[in-house]
Amino acid sequence: MEPVAVIGAGPFGLSTAAHLRARGIPVRVFGEPMVSWRAHMPEGMLLKSTPAASNIDAPQPGHNLVDYCDAAGIRRLVTDEDIVPVETFVAYGEWFRQKLVPDLERVRVVSVDRRGSGGFELKLDSGELFTARAVVVATGLSGLAHLPPELASAAPDGPTPTGPVSHSSQLHDLSRFSGKELIVVGAGQSALETAALAAEAGAQVRVVARGKGSVAFGAPPWTQPRLRPESPFGRAWSLWALSYYPHPYRHLPPQARHFLVRRVLGPLGAWWLRERFEGKVQVSEVSRIVRSGSAGGHPALAVQTLDGRVEELSADHVVAATGYRVDLAAMDFLGHELRTELAVSRGTPKLGAGFRSSVPGLYFTGLPAAASYGPVMRFVCGTEFASPRLVRHLVGARG
C-alpha cells in the first residue's frame, strides 16, 4: 500500500505520525526533529505553557512529559508552578520520536504535486521521487516568520542576525549582544523573554510595543479564579471552550475566526517573567512605528508616541519579535497547481472535518489549522485534539 507522507517533525508531525503508525498505516515522516525549538528559539528559554499543556499526544499511554522526566531520571515537571526549560522539551520530543517514530527521515520535501490517478507525487531533496496516497502538512512555524512592512525598510535584504534587523526566530544565542544596545519590537512572550534573556546576557535592551499597557504579564497560577473552569491556558470559560471544544470553531464567520486566532491567547508575558523583566528592560509603549531606516550605520525607528509626538530611537540591532503569519504562498513546496486548487481564507487553508483541505487526501495540522480550529492549534496541547481526529478521518477516507 502507498504510504501517507507526513511533512514535519515538530510536535504536530511526530504526534500525527505516531497515531498513523499505531493504526498500522504505512507512513513516511520527513523533517528535522524539533528544529523550531532547537534552533529558532533562544537558548535558555522557558516554556510559557505548563507541563500539563506541553504533552505531545500519543496513541498509547506513557509518552507524556512526566513520563519522559521519569525515564530520564530528572525532576518530575507536573504542577502549574513547574516551569519547563526548552532544552528539556527538545529532549522530550527526541525521546518521543525515538520511541514512536523511529524511522523518521531527516530530509526536506521539495515539492508535492497531485497525481492524475489520485494521490500525490513528492520530491525529496535527496532527489528521490515517490508517491503517497495522502499528505499531512505539519510544517509549523517554518518559513512563516513575519516582518511588518514598517520594519522592512531598515532591512532591505531581509532580516538577518548579522544585519541591522533580525526576526526573533533567527536568534538562538543572545550572548552575542552583550555590551550592545538592542531594540526588541513586540509585546508577546517571545519579545519579552528575548528582551529579558538579552539583558541578562549583558545587553542594554528596550522593548518597543504598540499601545498603552501592551506590555503585561499573566497572573500566577495560585491567584487564578477558582470558580472558573481549568484549561491548559488558565482558568476562564472562553479558554476552556476553545481548548476542549474546537469542533464548532470552523463554523464561525471568517472575520470572527481570524480575529479570535489573533486575539485570544494574544500578547502577554508569562507570570514568572515579570521579575526578570521589570527594572531590567526599558519599555517604550508607542502608538505606532512610523518608519525605519538607519542613522550613522545603526538601525533607527521613528515612532509616534502615545501623545502624538514623533521620536527617533536607535540601537546596534533591532529584533522583530513580531510572530508568524500563515500564508500558503510561503509554503513553496506545495506545487503551484495544488496551491491554486486549495480553498483558502486570508492565505490560510480552509479545513473541513478531520483537518482535511479542499483537495482530497491533503491535510493540514498545527499552526496552518488555527484559522479553522482555533488558537489551541498554535500550541503543543492542540495535538490532543488534532492528531486522533485527523488520523480517524484519513483512515476512514481510505475506504
Question: Minimum Å distance from CB 310 to ligand FAD?
Answer: 31
Please list, in sequence order, all residues whose beta carbon lies within 8 angstroms of the beta carbon of residue 241, skipping any fewer than 6 positions away: none
Question: Minimum Å distance from CB 48 to ligand FAD?
Answer: 4
Nearer Cβ to ligand FAD, position 313 or 366? 366
Q: Give the Cα separation of 122 and 129 in Å (integer).
A: 6
Question: Minimum Å distance from CB 322 to ligand FAD?
Answer: 11
Binding to ligand FAD by residue 277, rule CB under 6 A? no
Binding to ligand FAD by residue 177, rule CB under 6 A? no
Identity of the residue numbered 202: G
Q: Give the Cα separation of 266 and 214 in Å (integer).
A: 11
Member of 4, 25, 27, 47 binding ligand FAD (CB under 6 A): 47
**Nearest CA among 167, 125, 87 for reference residue 7:** 125
Binding to ligand FAD by residue 96, rule CB under 6 A? no
Say if CB 197 and CB 331 are below 8 A apart: no
What number of chain residues touch ligand FAD (CB under 6 A)? 32
Span interacting with ligand FAD, options 33-41, 208-216, 260-268, 274-282, rule CB under 6 A = 33-41
User: Bridge partners of 130?
Assistant: 122
- Long-range contact set of residues 296-303: C-beta below 8 Å, sequence gap at least 24: 298/164, 299/154, 299/155, 299/164, 299/165, 299/183, 300/154, 301/151, 301/154, 301/183, 301/185, 301/208, 303/208
Span interacting with ligand FAD, options 48-56, 150-158, 206-214, 304-312, rule CB under 6 A = 48-56
**Nearest CA among 319, 306, 354 for reference residue 166:** 319
Member of 4, 5, 6, 8 binding ligand FAD (CB under 6 A): 8
Identity of the residue numbered 382: G
User: 323, exposed or middle or buried, with CB in 10 Å at 0-12, 13-18, 19+?
Assistant: buried
Member of 190, 214, 314, 387 binding ligand FAD (CB under 6 A): 190
DSSP letter for each residue of 103-133? T-B---EEEEEE-TTSSEEEEETTS-EEEES
**Nearest CA among 199, 356, 346 for reference residue 281:** 199
Binding to ligand FAD by residue 11, rule CB under 6 A? yes
The contact mask relative to ligand FAD for 131-150 (x = CB under 6 A, - = no) is -------xxxxx--------
Please list, in sequence order, all residues whose beta carbon lies within 8 angstroms of the beta carbon of residue 63, skipping any fewer than 6 positions away: 18, 55, 56, 96, 99, 100
Span interacting with ligand FAD, options 3-11, 63-71, 255-263, 306-314, rule CB under 6 A = 3-11
Q: Give the Cα separation of 160 and 158 in Å (integer).
A: 6
Binding to ligand FAD by residue 41, rule CB under 6 A? yes
Binding to ligand FAD by residue 171, rule CB under 6 A? no
Binding to ligand FAD by residue 379, rule CB under 6 A? yes
Span interacting with ligand FAD, options 6-14, 173-181, 195-203, 279-287, rule CB under 6 A = 6-14
Question: Minimum Å distance from CB 306 to ligand FAD?
Answer: 27
Nearer Cβ to ligand FAD, position 96 or 250? 96
User: Bridge partners of 122?
Assistant: 112, 130
Binding to ligand FAD by residue 35, rule CB under 6 A? yes
Binding to ligand FAD by residue 30, rule CB under 6 A? yes
Interface residues with ligand FAD (CB under 6 A)? 7-13, 30-32, 35-36, 41, 47-49, 54, 108-109, 138-142, 190, 333, 366-367, 378-381
